[in-house]
Structure 1
Amino acid sequence: MKRHEARSKAMQVLFQLDNTELELTIDEAISHVLNEDESDSFFEKLVRGTFTKKQEIDAALEQKLENWSLYRLPKIERTVLRLAVYELLYMEETPNNVVLNEAIELCKTYGDEKSSKFVNGVLSKFVE
């Protein structure tokens, strides 16, 4: 699985876990998104790491958001931000500009043009 695809699938898993009325486990959400596809270590690290560090990530995001609370954000933006902040804070092997570009692409795919600009603005505060 290429890294862009891993990020996209990780975003889908995290979105499901954050926004479902069902009580899904992380393994059930992963299974649902992957369907028959093979998992890989990068994907697993993104999903499990973001899920595990959610409180720390949310606290870091709250400090960077201006005039917004995390739970007022649209669900796509919130999920993409969490995923990208996990990568910025805990996966130092990925260059910051790659993380920002990938987050913007995820927003363009799953959100709208405004969401990509908003996410770029928030994430740029983490790399200043």
Structure 2
Amino acid sequence: MKRRTAREKALQALFQIDVSNTEPSLAIEHVLEGEQNDDYLTHLVLGVVEQKTSIDHLISENLEKWSLDRLATVDRNLLRMAAYELKFSREIPENVVLDEAIEIAKVYGDDQSSKFINSVLSKIKETLHNN
């Protein structure tokens, strides 16, 4: 499975977990639709779930005039996934993380999602560099 596909499926699983409190393993199984599991997909979903408090704090610090619970569910979970990659997956170049998140936002978000995601992730990237 390509990394882009793994990220898209991870976003779908995180969306399910966020909206319906689904167990991570069941959410992953559901989005795979019979396909073989992918290590990166599992890594992203479980990593975001395990680090959710830390990630949500990082995102909240970098939101202007917004609160995490007011964000669109797709945007919130895409930010969580990308913030997780920025903070905990050091082997992936930061620009790749941002580009992938922006492209996925164009597909799954609304008209403003990609610009919003880019803005928040750029601030998160700066925050991580300054700490």
TM-score normalised by the chain length of structure 1? 0.95
By how many angstroms is 1:112 displaced?
2.0
By how many angstroms is 1:26 displaced?
1.0
Instruction: Tell me the distance in 1 between the aligned counterparts of 2:111 and 2:101.
Output: 12
Instruction: Tell me the distance in 1 between the aligned counterparts of 2:76 and 2:14.
Output: 10
Instruction: Tell me the distance in 1 between the aligned counterparts of 2:26 and 2:42.
Output: 13
Pairs within 5 Å for 1:98-109: 98-109=96-107
1:49 aligns with 2:47: yes
Q: In structure 2, which of residues 62, 65, 69 is the aligned counterpart of residue 64 of structure 1?
A: 62
By how many angstroms is 1:27 displaced?
1.0
Q: Which runs of 4+ in 1 moved over 6 A?
A: none
Instruction: Tell me the distance in 1 between the aligned counterparts of 2:41 and 2:29.
Output: 12
The Cα offsets for residues 51-100 of structure 1, whole Å up to 9 and x where unpaired, read as 11111000111111111100011111101000000000000000000000
**Retained in 1: the 8 A contact 2:15–2:77?**
yes
Instruction: Tell me the distance in 2 between the aligned counterparts of 1:40 and 1:65.
Output: 31
Amino acid at match of 2:7: R
The Cα offsets for residues 14-42 of structure 1, whole Å up to 9 and x where unpaired, read as 0000012xx52111111111011111211
The number of equivalent residue pairs is 126
Which of 77-86 and 105-114 deviates more?
105-114
**Retained in 1: the 8 A contact 2:106–2:114?**
yes
Alignment RMSD (CA, Å): 0.9
Which runs of 5 or more structure 2 residues have no equivalent in the other structure?
Answer: 127-131
The equivalent residue for 1:94 is: 92
TM-score normalised by the chain length of structure 2? 0.93
Q: In structure 1, which of residues 19, 28, 31 is the aligned counterpart of residue 29 of structure 2?
A: 31
**Identity of aligned pairs, percent?**
49
Secondary structure of residue in 2 paired with 1:113: coil
Secondary structure of residue in 1 paired with 2:44: helix
